[in-house]
Amino acid sequence: MKLKTLLAQPPFHDIKLAAGERGVLNDITNVTMMDAPDILPYLKPNDLLVTTGYHVKDEPDELVRLIGQMAQKNCAALFIKTKRFFGQLPSEAVLLADDLGFPIVEIPENWSLGETVNQMLNIILDKRTSELRGAIDTHKLFSGHIMSGKGLNVLLANLTELTGHSAFLCTAYFSPIAGDDSLAEVLSPFKKWASQHGSFLSPSSTFTAFSTLSPKKDYTLFPVYTHEKKAALLLLEGPIYPTEHVKLLTIEQALNVISFELLKEDAVKQFTRRIRNEFFSNFLDDAFSSEEEAVSRAKEFDLPLKQKYICAAGRIDAPEEEWSYYTNQKELDEIYYFFEKELHTMDVPCHLFTKGETLILLLKVPDHVKDTHSFTASFLKKLQTRMSREHKMTMSFGVSHLCSSLLFVRQGYKEARDALKTNRLSSGPSSVHFHRTKDVSELLRLLPAKDLTQFYKHTVQQLKLGNLEEEKSLLDTLFVYMESHCHISETAKRLFVHRNTVVYRLEKCEELLGTSLKDPDFSLQIRLALRIKHLLNT
């Protein structure tokens, strides 16, 4: 309570200030009564002291010193019964009080100090009780809006009506949630600043005030705490001072209700996310009874059948020995929410899913996009940059080929997962790996060497001759012939032999193998066997 408010209440409304009129707006938080000589060590800021002045009645200089010390300690005021021992205040005390703006009030002689203190405390408590009743009523009002489903926009509109300040609510990453959208631009410069320097909220205060240069306006920013690490932000247009208790109580009730509403919305999102992940997992595992059922379910999640998609699978970059399932899932949840909010600011329609420790992004590719490689790389790099900036973590992605329809997304997920698994550990953080179709040699490397050797021996066992030199020449000729698309002249040129020599060797091979080299199936088998021989030798 301010001293001016106290002096306006009976029975103090008939008392006039004796000195220090500039301090009538001082705040009173405590009333104390004391006549001890060592009173100063017990006084605190915003204390109002009621005294007879008995301990300084014979030393007016001590009263002057007391006034100076109380002003230095930011005490609220001095109520003194001057008629009892002084007759009147010393002129030095009045001059000092006026100079310091420290209020001095003379108590009538017929008032007892105990009654004076009780009257003050009753007035302060009544005002405080009134403020608390107002806070309860405000909390009921705000809670009623939320419980009746009116939402955050109505709540913020009522907050504006009660406080006179336009309000805007956004996430910790400055994505709009509710309120006056015209205030969103005020926070845009802080987004880059916060990414470089961290939170700009004052850690020692319940709110942070700042001013803009162009246009010159004041704003006040309040954190809205929920279960998330970073608090949401409530921006109010205009300055709010710590002495505006009623207004701050109203805002505090709004912040409490907003926190619960954000928690409720987050619980709904968690449920929706679980349903979406269950659907997508079943879709990838082909767990539906038919393709028609899968397509029908997909429509519920805005996944049309005839749409081009690109699937990207991402995992947090961390050494395997440091992986913890609980920690990884917690961090993956944070990144999921971060990406979910960031995607609202980007022009690319994208669906988010999680499967185990993998974050899956399913991009809808617009028809006008021709270079899907550059399109996807640019999109993912933006997300990686923002994630590294906000979370100090990195994530690598594997990317599939273009899926011409929803049914090809299953294969697309496998391609993205394989691309990530093949390259992630051998590359640096924040890498993007595109799936590359394997050639014959790469496919053969996936098979055990034992099986490859067995296949090779079975195919060419009839060419095993006693003369190793002849065996080698036949195999070399056969291999070059197949690789030259069965052109005899090209084979002779590559082997530096006469054309008739090539014909002789090929006829010898057909005789030993007992089949024509022009037979498609046998030709494929021979070519694979010769590729296997080359692979085993290297």
Domain locations along the chain = 3-111, 135-263, 302-437, 444-537
- Give the tokens for residue 155: 């709540």
Of all residues in the chain, the percent with pLDDT exceeding 90 is 20
Residue 390's pLDDT band (cuts 50, 70, 90): confident
16-64, pLDDT tens digit by residue?
888 999 999 898 989 998 878 788 888 999 999 998 888 787 787 888 8
pLDDT at 71: 92
- Please, are residues 305 and 405 in contact by the beta-carbon 8 Å criterion? yes
pLDDT at 467: 57
CATH for 3-111?
A: 3.40.1390.20
Longest CA–CA span in the chain (Å) reads 141
pLDDT at 184: 82
Residue 523, H or E segment: helix 520-537
Look up the CATH architecture of domain 302-437.
2-Layer Sandwich (3.30)
The average pLDDT across 355-370 equals 89
488-516, pLDDT tens digit by residue?
888 888 888 899 998 888 888 888 777 78
48-106, pLDDT tens digit by residue?
999 888 878 778 788 888 899 999 999 999 999 887 777 788 888 899 999 999 999 98
Strand segments (E) across 371-443: 395-399, 432-434
The average pLDDT across 143-164 equals 84
CATH for 135-263?
A: 3.30.450.40
pLDDT at 422: 74
Quickly tell me which residue has 């103090």 as its tokens: 12
Residue 196's pLDDT band (cuts 50, 70, 90): low
Which is more confident, 522 or 108? 108
447-494, pLDDT tens digit by residue?
777 888 888 788 777 566 555 667 778 878 887 888 788 888 888 888
Characterize 229-265 residue by residue with b for buried, 16 or more Cβ atoms within 10 angstroms of its Cβ, and e for exposed.
ebbbbbbbbeebeeeebebbbbbbbbbbbbbebbeee
pTM for this predicted structure: 0.57
Mean confidence (pLDDT) of the chain: 84
307-329, pLDDT tens digit by residue?
999 999 998 887 655 556 667 77
- Please, are residues 75 and 47 in contact by the beta-carbon 8 Å criterion? yes
| Model confidence at 144: pLDDT above 90 | no
Compute φ and ψ for 174, nearest 5 degrees: 70, 20
CA–chain centroid gap for 461, Å, is 64
CA dist 141 and 129 (Å) reads: 18
**CATH 1.10.10.2840 fits domain 444-537:** yes
The average pLDDT across 245-260 equals 88
∠ CA 138-143-148, rounded to 5°: 130
**Residue 192 CB: number of other CB atoms within 10 A?**
10
